[in-house]
Chains A and B, each alone.
Chain A
Amino acid sequence: MDHHLIPRGLDRAPLSRFLLWLLPWLALSVWGGWAAVALFRDGLYHTNMDNRFAFGLWIIFDLAVIALGAGAFFLGFLTYLMRRHEFRQVLNTAVIVGFVCYSGAIATLAIDVGQPIRAWFAFWHANVHSMLTEVTFCITCYLVVLAIEYLPIVLKNRSLRPVKGALVLEANLHRLMIVFAGVGAFLSFFHQGSLGGMFGVLNGRPFAFREGVGIWPSTFFLFILSAIAAGPSFIMLIVMTVSRLSGKRLVDQFVYARLGRISGILMAAYALAKLADTVVWIFVTLPGLGFDAAEFYRHELFGTWVLFLELTVFGLLPATILLNRRRLEDRRWLVAGAVLTCLGVSFNRFVFTLQTLSVPTMSFDRFMIYWPSWQEWAVVAGVVAYGVLLYSFSFRYLNLFPRERELQPTVGRS
């Protein structure tokens, strides 16, 4: 029934199966929407956040998806500016995933702020000293860039062919794409860094505070590194999953290995930088603030295993896997490395958000924990569902993978 919308030459599942696939995701997004309405109407008391846990699941989720969505700008940067054309094969997916991650994060943030009606004050009454201002500006601008990058993919849809302007616009945008890729890379480098800076500048929170490198705290660079390490891995995992679900080869095999190798190199750099940063933090920063690192890791939930996990299992281990050429050829090792990389960056964002607030600052403080309310989970589930839905539609009706047609076995029909 929707054949006229499906790109020519591509084989897609029957509409009924597609709709069946959409059903659970629709349900999840309705659930999330329901929670969002309640939160807008009644206020944030539906969450389990409190005066101590000013940040909760949503901020962890935002930080994680923005880091994972870094593939969009970084692959654009590699393709257009570094001329690594093999990544063109996954670039459309990277753009859509990036768009989903950023728009989802902004939607979550809009629910997270206590006065959503004043969210635009960040522009109108901007405080230029605040890392969060930098983040807000860059993320918003970059979302516009992502929308512009998304547009040509949409405009190529079969049903828009008759519209003369669409094609012209698409062609023009395509020529300008190198500019947008450049702008996007610039903006993204900044806000990925600023997100790290958000924690690194907290001089009242020794757990998060980091020494300055130039005008930025070290977390500025660590967040950039970890994000661009995780971005390609995440895109790779998405494409693999889509390929598996649709039962089609979508990209050349070597693209996966290339993505993995880039992740591996950056992960290695990140793990070493993180190690150096941790050493400086333990031996220079904390004593200067009157604290001891051991203090932060003596609580039931957050033991020294946190630090160990971050540095080894989520740092050096994926780096060693993904730097090994033989392992890159082995699908299982590749997936393991990519999963560990993505988990690692998410875990890092979790630790920075939650452990910072959990551990005591004053001597008589108590260690506290927090568990999100169902409304918080619902919003996150809703945003994830929105992402899946948007990608599903895009995959069905837009030509995301330039090599897909060639890579299919020839027994297929037209």
Chain B
Amino acid sequence: MHATENTGARYAMAIDLDKCTGCGACMVACAVENNVAVPPPAAAANRGLTWMAVHRTDNGQEWPAHRPVFIPIPCQQCEHAPCIHVCPVTAVQLDESTGIVGQVPARCMGCRYCMAACPYHARYFNYFDPTWPEGLEETLNPDVAPRMRGVAEKCNFCHGRLDRARERAAAEGRPADEVVAYVPACVEACPHGAITFGDSRDPASPMAQLARDPRAFRLLEALGTGPKVTYLSADPAVRRVGLSRLDMVRGATAVTADGAEGA
């Protein structure tokens, strides 16, 4: 293999599900940071643009055995992203220097093949002309370009913030290929410190340790997509959330004592 393959950063995220209370701060901060438009009130819920989407699930039991589980799902920034090779117009690319899967809205022609390809439902389509209630354009973030209708979009680990961090580094005279430290909006916003972010190739980064944490799991790892978002939970039942439903069922037959979901 090429010597260049392991140069550059691999920004990665770890989300501690034991700390997440489903407050939604990450979703709001993400929408504010990334100029995500508010769809018209009549719009179907499933047409929203939620780059960070906190899903609510449970252990499959009824009260009083019921336990809620909140799973924040940003784009998983897969190393072998299913969405990259399907895009006919080269609007999705893996940045070798950061490991971030970039989406170029200005290139996208809106065929939505990438959305069909993504198993995490982390891609969104602008069904509407993005509009803001009157005056609200004043609150748009100048570091992030607003998108137009008819294009796909998704989380990019706050590319605007990465650019700002790089500008700062350049202004301080640091070398251009140096890996800069920054945090995406959701990481900054989480009031419970549930989200960790950093370069997983940097052995000193907490990400490097978290990836080896026994509580760690990834979503649908068997698909081989190589997601860069790691989830953490001490609860084996919560860790099963990362598997396909089949594995949940199998797991339940193996551990019938805790009575997880039956077939």
Which residues of A come within 8 Å of B, CB atoms? 42-45, 47, 49-52, 54-55, 112-115, 118-119, 121-122, 125-127, 129-133, 136, 198, 201-206, 288-292, 294-295, 356-357, 360-365, 368
- Out of A118, A126, A368, name the residue touching B90 (CB < 8 Å): A126
Q: Are A203 and B149 in contact (CB under 8 A)?
A: no
Contact B151 A115 (CB under 8 A): yes
User: Known: A51-B124, A201-B86, A202-B86. Contact between A362 and B109, CB under 8 A?
Assistant: no
Q: Residue B246 at the A interface, CB < 8 A?
A: yes
B116-A54 in contact (CB<8A): yes
Q: Within 8 Å of chain A (Cβ to Cβ): is B225?
A: yes
Contact A290 B109 (CB under 8 A): no
Whether a CB of chain A sits under 8 angstroms from the CB of B150 is yes
Residue of B nearest to A46 (CB): B127
> Are B90 and A125 closer than 8 Å at their CB atoms?
yes
Q: Which of B80, B89, B121, B224 contacts A51 (CB 8 A)?
A: B121
Residue of A42, A50, A119 most packed against chain B (CB within 10 A):
A50
Query: Considering the complex, which residues of chain B in the window 100-157 have a beta carbon less than 8 Å from any beta carbon of chain A?
Result: 107-113, 115-121, 123-129, 148-152
Asked whether B128 lies within 8 Å of A55 as measured between CB atoms, the reply is no
Q: Does the CB pair A290–B71 fall under 8 Å?
A: no
Residue B158 interfacial (CB < 8 Å): no
CA distance A362 to B44 in the complex (A): 21
**Alpha-carbon separation in the docked complex, A398 to B56 (Å):** 63
Give the size range of B's interface with the partner. 35 or more
In whole Å, how far is A126's beta carbon from the nearest beta carbon of chain B?
Answer: 7
Q: Are A132 and B246 in contact (CB under 8 A)?
A: no
Check if B85 sits within 8 Å of A114, measured CB to CB.
Answer: no
A202 touches B46 (CB 8 A): no
Which of A47, A54, A364 is B55 in contact with, Cβ under 8 Å?
A364
Interface contact B121-A365, CB-CB below 8 Å:
yes
Q: Given A44-B150, A115-B110, are A295 and B89 neighbors across the interface (CB < 8 Å)? A: no
Listed A/B pairs (25) with beta-carbon separation below 8 Å: A43-B129, A49-B125, A49-B127, A50-B47, A51-B115, A52-B46, A115-B151, A118-B89, A118-B110, A122-B109, A127-B85, A129-B85, A130-B85, A130-B113, A203-B224, A204-B117, A204-B223, A289-B223, A360-B245, A361-B119, A362-B120, A362-B219, A362-B220, A363-B240, A364-B69
B121: chain A residues at CB < 8 Å are 51-52, 361-362, 365
> Which B residues are in CB contact (< 8 Å) with A294?
246
Rounded to whole Å, the gap between the CB of B229 and the closest CB of chain A is 13
Complexed CA–CA distance, A224 and B67 (Å):
49
Contact B119 A295 (CB under 8 A): no
Give chain B residues whose Cβ lies under 8 Å from the Cβ of A126.
88-90
**Could you tell me the distance between the alpha carbons of A150 and B61 in the complex, rounded to whole angstroms?**
64
**CB-contact partner of B43 in A45, A55, A203, A368, under 8 A:** A45
Residues of A within 8 A of B112 (CB): 49, 54-55, 114
Known: A50-B44, A119-B109. 18 other contacts (CB 8 A): A49-B125, A52-B46, A52-B121, A54-B125, A118-B107, A121-B107, A130-B87, A132-B88, A202-B82, A202-B116, A205-B116, A289-B222, A290-B243, A292-B246, A362-B241, A363-B248, A364-B71, A364-B241
**Assuming A115-B110, A290-B243, is B123 touching A51 (CB within 8 A)?**
yes
B167 at the interface (CB under 8 A from A): no
Q: How far is the CB of A289 from chain B (nearest CB, A)?
A: 5
B244 touches A361 (CB 8 A): yes
How many whole Å from B20's CB to the nearest CB in chain A? 14
| Interface contact B223-A203, CB-CB below 8 Å | yes
Q: How far is the CB of A121 from chain B (nearest CB, A)?
A: 4
CB pair A291 B111 closer than 8 Å: no
